[in-house]
């Protein structure tokens, strides 16, 4: 199968999945904006994986619906594939896309920051003073960091000495520069927080990508993985094999090494200090700041609880929350693919609620997450999650999904196709 035909096939599959999710909203797929009054105004905050998908599918399925997307950045920069930029295998332009596709399908895209939500008055406030009224609000603000528990970290990130690289964009560029400037024979140390965090396999992919760069450009340099978890949290056997087969003598993996503080480029652990030439800290995470200031963090004071049939917050009516900000259903990862699926559940439900119809009672969502272990070879993990009416949550479908048998180049091509297809799906490219 050629790369091209796989891309087309994947796009059809991805969109097909979205249509299956739409359930009762399928009728809306055929409708186009045009005649008749608007069924309502939906404001979407956050133009990442969840928010962009929601904006696009509200228009696609909703027909006469007004959709405004507020995003603080001028363009979308993808976390998926950003580890390949760190490895020198891709450039920032490869993971950056614009919002013109969404504009072309009728989404009003506002570049700006939402600073406050008035749930009672159904309004959001913008930095600079403007306000937007809504009938339904969608929030997909991603994550922000819990820096207080790690001494010295906030100041180190503020000063630019430590780059987390866990939100793609300037942080990715800064970390790549540090890697380029590091001497051959130097040590790159990466601290991984305890789960849950955004993208469970992402840190181990990063270790592989940095090691693949060192193997060619700085053969005496080392990668030290300081994991706050007792073991590799995703695709364990596949990453262990990659570390051994491709990076023996380069990557050293240390479990149960939770970061307590930073001092210069020294990572202070419970029993040990580790001095690095480049120290990359992935900080512990919670739902994005806007969800917190709006009082939505009702799960462990960290995440937003949602009604899985509508993605509506259990803390505030009329506010639908997507993606990494949510308290996950069992075995549901914080991934771009899952945020895209949340968005489709929410878009279908919002249209039905605005029309006074019943929402789909049997949603199904799925996840696929690829990780590169060399510049060309990738592995994947996949799962299918079905709504359980008794426990009112998504549960993994027994026997669904699984992981790759082995890393290979075909999966590397699939991984790039996945990225291009999901960007096209969410941004209407
Ligand atoms: C290194 C790395 C690799 C990854 N690889 C994969 C992968 O291979 N596959 C996968 O599925 N997932 C992957 N992920 C995870 C994926 O990036 C996230 O799960 C996904 O981005 C979550 O989508 P979201 O919509 O919740 O948040 P985001 O995509 O982060 O979007 C949030 C958006 O909201 C905006 N925003 C926040 N607050 C405001 C505000 N107040 N006003 C205006 N705008 C605001 C932000 O600017 C941002 O654009 C990876 C993550 C990392 C860090």
pLDDT tens track for 151-177: 999 999 999 999 999 999 999 999 999
Do residues 122 and 138 touch, judged by C-beta distance below 8 A?
Answer: no
Q: What are the CA-CA distances from residue 226 to residues 78, 139, 265, 307 (Å)? A: 25, 33, 14, 36
Residue 379 preceded by cis peptide, ω within 30: no
Whether the pLDDT of residue 3 is over 50: the answer is no
Please give the span between the terminal C-alpha atoms of the chain, in angstroms, as a whole number.
24
Whether the pLDDT of residue 126 is over 50: the answer is yes
pLDDT digits 0-9 by tens, 331-384:
999 999 999 999 999 999 999 999 999 999 999 999 999 999 999 999 999 999
What is the spatial distance between Cα 185 and Cα 211, in angstroms, rounded to a whole number? 12
C-alpha angle with apex 211: 376 to 177, nearest 5 degrees?
100
Between the CA of 48 and the centroid of ligand 1 the distance, in Å, is 5
Between the CA of 103 and the centroid of ligand 1 the distance, in Å, is 20
Q: Which atom of ligand 1 is the closest one to the Cα of 370?
A: 8
What is the spatial distance between Cα 249 and Cα 254, in angstroms, rounded to a whole number? 14
Nearest CA to ligand 1 atom 27: 142
What is the spatial distance between Cα 419 and Cα 403, in angstroms, rounded to a whole number? 18
Q: Report which of 147, 161, 172 is spatially closest to residue 276, judged by C-alpha positions.
A: 161
Between the CA of 38 and the centroid of ligand 1 the distance, in Å, is 30
Mean pLDDT of the chain: 93
Nearest CA to ligand 1 atom 11: 336
Q: Which of 77, 110, 142, 203 to mutate to test the pocket of ligand 1 (most atoms within 8 A of CB)?
A: 142
pTM here? 0.94
Q: Which of 335, 401, 414 to mutate to test the pocket of ligand 1 (most atoms within 8 A of CB)?
A: 335
Nearest CA to ligand 1 atom 33: 46
Q: Which range (16-30, 229-243, 297-311, 368-382) has the least confidence?
A: 16-30
What three-state secondary structure class fits 46? coil
User: What lines the ligand 1 site, CB under 6 Å?
Assistant: 45-51, 70-73, 79-80, 82-83, 113-114, 140-142, 166, 198-199, 202, 288, 290, 322-325, 334-337, 339, 369-370
What is the spatial distance between Cα 413 and Cα 34, in angstroms, rounded to a whole number? 40
Q: How many CB atoms lie within 10 A of CB 425?
A: 23
Residue in the block written with tokens 């490869």: 94
Pair type for strands 136-139 and 319-321: parallel
Whether the pLDDT of residue 281 is over 70: the answer is yes
Whether the pLDDT of residue 14 is over 60: the answer is no
Q: Report which of 145, 143, 244, 248 is spatially closest to residue 191, judged by C-alpha positions.
A: 145
Predicted pLDDT of residue 2 = 33
Q: In the chain, what are the helix, strand and coil shares in percent, each to the nearest 5?
A: 35, 25, 40
Predicted pLDDT of residue 295 = 98
Nearest CA to ligand 1 atom 20: 336
Do residues 58 and 29 touch, judged by C-beta distance below 8 A?
Answer: no
Nearest CA to ligand 1 atom 4: 80
Q: Alpha-carbon dihedral of residues 372, 97, 339, 104, nearest 10 degrees?
A: -150
Whether the pLDDT of residue 35 is over 90: the answer is no
Whether the pLDDT of residue 413 is over 80: the answer is yes
Do residues 352 and 58 touch, judged by C-beta distance below 8 A?
Answer: no
Whether the pLDDT of residue 34 is over 90: the answer is no
Q: Report which of 44, 38, 43 is spatially closest to residue 64, judged by C-alpha positions.
A: 38
Whether the pLDDT of residue 298 is over 50: the answer is yes
Q: Which of 324, 337, 365 to mutate to test the pocket of ligand 1 (most atoms within 8 A of CB)?
A: 324
Between the CA of 358 and the centroid of ligand 1 the distance, in Å, is 30
Two tokens, residue 239 = 């990453």
Q: Which range (10-14, 50-54, 168-172, 406-410) has the least confidence?
A: 10-14
Predicted pLDDT of residue 9 = 39
pLDDT digits 0-9 by tens, 187-204:
999 999 999 999 999 999
Q: Which atom of ligand 1 is the closest one to the Cα of 46?
A: 34
* Residue 324 DSSP label: G
Q: In which band, very low, low, confident or very high, does the pLDDT at 7 lie, cut at 50, 70 and 90?
A: very low
Q: In which band, very low, low, confident or very high, does the pLDDT at 36 lie, cut at 50, 70 and 90?
A: confident
Nearest CA to ligand 1 atom 35: 46
- Spell out where 72-158 has E strands: 76-77, 96-97, 108-111, 114-118, 123-126, 131-133, 136-139, 143-145
Do residues 83 and 209 touch, judged by C-beta distance below 8 A?
Answer: yes
Residue 163 CA to its chain's centroid (Å) = 18
Q: Which of 46, 128, 303, 371 to mutate to test the pocket of ligand 1 (most atoms within 8 A of CB)?
A: 46
Whether the pLDDT of residue 25 is over 60: the answer is no
Q: Which of 44, 48, 423 to mutate to test the pocket of ligand 1 (most atoms within 8 A of CB)?
A: 48
Predicted pLDDT of residue 367 = 97
Longest dimension (CA), the chain: 68
Q: How many CB atoms lie within 10 A of CB 315?
A: 18
Nearest CA to ligand 1 atom 7: 80
pLDDT digits 0-9 by tens, 212-270:
999 999 999 999 999 999 999 999 999 999 999 999 999 999 999 999 999 999 999 99
Do residues 147 and 262 touch, judged by C-beta distance below 8 A?
Answer: no
């Amino acid at each position: 199968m050629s790369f091209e035909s796989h891309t087309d096939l994947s796009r059809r599959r991805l969109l097909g999945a979205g249509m299956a999710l739409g359930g009762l909203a399928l009728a809306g797929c055929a409708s186009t904006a045009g005649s008749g009054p608007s069924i309502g105004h939906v404001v979407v905050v956050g133009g990442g994986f969840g928010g962009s998908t929601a904006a696009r599918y509200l228009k696609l399925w909703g027909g006469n619906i007004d959709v405004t997307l507020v995003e603080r950045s001028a363009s979308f920069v993808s976390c998926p594939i950003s580890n390949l930029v760190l490895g020198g295998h891709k450039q920032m332009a490869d993971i950056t896309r614009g919002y013109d596709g969404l504009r072309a399908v009728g989404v009003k895209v506002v570049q700006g920051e939402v600073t406050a939500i008035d749930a009672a008055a159904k309004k959001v406030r913008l930095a600079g003073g403007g306000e937007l009224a809504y009938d339904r609000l969608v929030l997909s603000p991603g994550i922000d960091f819990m820096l207080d528990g790690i001494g010295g970290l906030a100041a180190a990130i503020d000063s630019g000495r430590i780059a987390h690289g866990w939100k793609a964009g300037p942080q990715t560029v800064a970390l790549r520069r540090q890697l380029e400037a590091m001497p051959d024979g130097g040590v790159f140390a990466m601290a991984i927080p305890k789960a849950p965090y955004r993208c469970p396999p992402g840190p181990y992919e990063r270790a592989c990508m940095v090691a693949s760069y060192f193997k060619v450009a700085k053969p005496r340099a080392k990668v030290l993985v300081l994991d706050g978890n007792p073991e590799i949290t995703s695709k364990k056997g596949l990453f262990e094999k990659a570390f051994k087969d491709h990076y023996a003598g380069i990557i050293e993996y240390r479990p149960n090494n939770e970061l307590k503080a930073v001092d210069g480029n020294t990572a202070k652990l419970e029993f040990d200090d580790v001095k690095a030439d480049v120290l990359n800290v992935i900080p512990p995470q919670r739902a994005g700041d806007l969800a917190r200031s709006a009082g939505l963090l009702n799960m462990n004071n960290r995440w937003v609880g949602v009604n899985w049939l509508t993605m509506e917050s259990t803390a505030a009516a009329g506010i639908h929350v997507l993606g990494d900000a949510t308290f996950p259903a069992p075995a549901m990862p914080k991934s771009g693919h899952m945020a895209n699926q949340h968005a489709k559940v929410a878009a279908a439900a919002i249209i039905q609620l605005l029309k006074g119809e019943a929402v789909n009672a049997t949603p199904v969502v799925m996840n696929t997450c690829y990780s590169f272990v060399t510049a060309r070879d990738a592995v994947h993990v996949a799962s299918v999650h079905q709504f359980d009416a008794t426990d009112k949550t998504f549960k993994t479908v027994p026997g669904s999904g699984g992981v790759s048998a082995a890393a290979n180049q075909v999966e590397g091509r699939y991984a790039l196709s996945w990225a291009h297809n999901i960007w096209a799906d969410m941004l209407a490219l």
